Each structure stands twice: as C-alpha cells, then as structure tokens.
Structure 1
Amino acid sequence: MTLTKSKYYFEALDYFPFNLSECMDALNYALSYEPEDSDSLCLMGRIYSEVLKDYETAKNFFNEALQNNMGNVNIPKYYIECLLNYEDYDEAEKLIGFAYTIKGIDKADILRCKALLCERKEEYSEALEHLKNAERFSYCKEMTATLKERERFIRKKMPKMEKEEKVI
C-alpha cells in the first residue's frame, strides 16, 4: 500500500456514501496508483452493490478484491451482503464457509450473515441458532444489541406453530 494510494483510498472512504462524486474521484485515483488493491476494489464493489444496485458489477469487484488478497477481513461481510441482496444464496453460503476460516475475521458478523441467509430462506429456527452462536463471539455492546434486535425481528416473522413448538 503506497502512501499516495492510501491517501486517496482514505479520502474515498471518508466521502462514502455521502459524497459519491468525490468518493469516486478519490477511488479512481487510488486504483490508478495500485489497481490490485483489495480495499479499494472492495469499496468500489460496495458502491456498485449498496448505492447503484448493480450486483453483477459489484460481484466482479469483490471477486477481484478477494483474488488479490484472500486474507482481507474487510471483503467477505460486504460481498456476502451483496450476494444475499442478489439472491445468490448458494454462493453466499460458500463464501460464509470460507470467511469463517479467515484468521482475524469478526466471527459474530459472519454468523450474523449466516443467520440472514437462513432468514431469507425462511429457515427461522436455524437463523436463531446462528444468532445465538454469534453472541458467543460478540465482544462489543453494539454487536450484541444488533444480534438481540435481529432475534426479536425473526421471532416475529416465525409462523405461529413454530413459535408454539419452541415454547413447549
């Protein structure tokens, strides 16, 4: 990571998502200095996924970022969310399995993504199990609150019979 590339990457990160014009300018500069930088490619993927809703292009950026640095702990969370939004559940499941093995990754966040995958597949009981496991790896109040809120949300979505079976 060159100093110049870092400067432009951090500028882009600072502008995202509130000033996309400046963000894109800074990101393009960063990528011109180091076209294979995984963090810059990941941010570009986020722009295409979260803002432009162009999931195919986003997937290409995320794939390239992962190919350039498979150990980058920042990429999987955003890539998984992109795949879930694109309803590419099989690919999301594979990536979750891989991401969980990356040393230093936030396991609570990856398990939260796994719960989201189960929720989207209407496997609510399994989603709740993943949220419980995620709590074990949660080391901050904000993540624990997020997991608890998600659990309440899923319980409200569960069909009545499933809720009653859990109580008994």
Structure 2
Amino acid sequence: MTLTKSKYYFEALDYFPFNLSECMDALNYALSYEPEDADSLCLMGRVYSEELKDYETAKKYFDEAMQSNIGNVNTPKYYIECLLNNEDYKEAEKLIAFALELKGIDKSEILNCLSLLHERNFEYKQALGTLKEAKKFAYNRAALEILEDREKLVKGKTVRTRTVKKAD
C-alpha cells in the first residue's frame, strides 16, 4: 500500500456513503496508483452493491479483491451481503464457509450473514441457532445488540401453531 494510494483510499472511505461523487473520484485515484489493491476494490464493490444496487458489477469488484488478496478480512462480509442481496445463495454459502476459516475475521459478522442466509431460505430454527453461535464471538456491546435484534426479528417470523380445544 503506497502512501499516495493510502491517502486516496482513506479519503474515499471517509466520503463513503455520504458523498459518492468525491468517494468515486478518490477511489479511481487510489486504483490508478495500485489497481490490484483489495481494500480499494472492496470499497468500489460496496459502492456498486450498497448504493447503486448493481450487484453484478459489484461481484466483479469483489472477485477481483479476493483474487488480489485472498486473506483480506474486510472483503468477505461485504461480498457475502452482495451475494445474498442478489439471491446467489449457493455462492454465498461457499464464501461463508471459506470466510469462517480466515484467521482474524470477525466470526460474529460472518455467522450473522449465515443466519440471514438461513432466514432467506425460511430455515428459522437454523437461523436462530446460528445467531446463538454468533453471540459467542461478539466481543463488544454494539455487535451483541445487533445479534439480539436479529434474533428478535427471526423469532417474530417463526410460525407458532396452537391447538384450540373445542368446548363440547
């Protein structure tokens, strides 16, 4: 990571997502200095995925970021979210399995993505089990609150059936 590239990458990160024009300018500068920088490619993927909803273009940037630095712990979470939004569930499942093996990755975030995958497949019991597992890896209050909120949401979706006794 060169000093000039770092300057532009951090500017882009600072502008994201509130000033996309400046963010894109800074990202393009960063990538012109180092075209294979995984962090810059990941941020470009986030712009296309989160802001422009152009998941196919985003996937290309995320793929490039992964190829550039397979051990980058920043890319998988955002790539998984993009895949889930694009309903590429099989790809997301494979990337989740890979990401959980990466040293230094935030496992609570990746397990949260896995619970979302289960939820999107209407597997609420598995989603709740995964959230329980994710809580073990949540090491700050904010992360734990996110997981607890997701747990409440999933519990609210589970169908509860009660048998009603008829009076004779």
TM superposition score normalised by structure 1 = 0.95
In structure 2, C-alpha distance between the alignment counterparts of 1:124 and 1:37, rounded to whole Å: 38
Letter in 2 for 1:97: A
Residue of structure 2 in register with 1:14 after alignment: 14
- Once residues 143 and 49 of structure 1 are traced to their aligned partners in structure 2, the CA distance between those partners, rounded to angstroms, is 22
Aligned equivalent of 1:157: 157
Count residues in correspondence: 162
Matched to 1:67, the amino acid is Q
Residues 66-81 of structure 1 aligned to structure 2 (within 5 Å) = 66-81=66-81
In 2, Cα distance between equivalents of 1:108 and 1:23: 28
Question: Percent of pairs identical after alignment?
Answer: 69
Q: Which residue of 1 aligns with 2:134?
A: 134
Residue 87 of structure 1 deviates from its aligned partner by 0.4
Deviations 1:55-108 (A, max 9, x none): 000000000000000100000000000000000000000000000000000001
- 1:96-115 → structure 2 map (5 Å cutoff): 96-115=96-115
Cα shift at 1:160: 1.4
Larger relative helix fraction = 1
Displacement of 1:124 after TM fit? Answer: 0.2
Q: Does 1:25 align with 2:38?
A: no
SS in 2 for 1:160: coil
For residue 18 of structure 1, report the CA deviation from its aligned partner. 0.4
Question: Letter of the aligned partner of 1:92 in structure 2?
Answer: A
- Unaligned 5+ segments in structure 2 are 163-168
Deviation string for 1:92-146 (max 9, x for gaps)?
0000000000000000110000000000000000000000000111100001111
Structure 1 residues without counterparts, runs of 5 or longer: none
Partner of residue 165, structure 2: none
User: What amino acid sits opposite 2:81 in the alignment?
Assistant: E
Residue in 2 that maps onto 1:93: 93
Listed as ranges, the matches of 1:39-54 within 5 Å are 39-54=39-54
Q: CA deviation at 1:156?
A: 0.5
Query: C-alpha root-mean-square deviation of aligned residues, in Å?
Result: 0.7
Letter in 1 for 2:18: F
| Match of residue 59 from structure 1 | 59
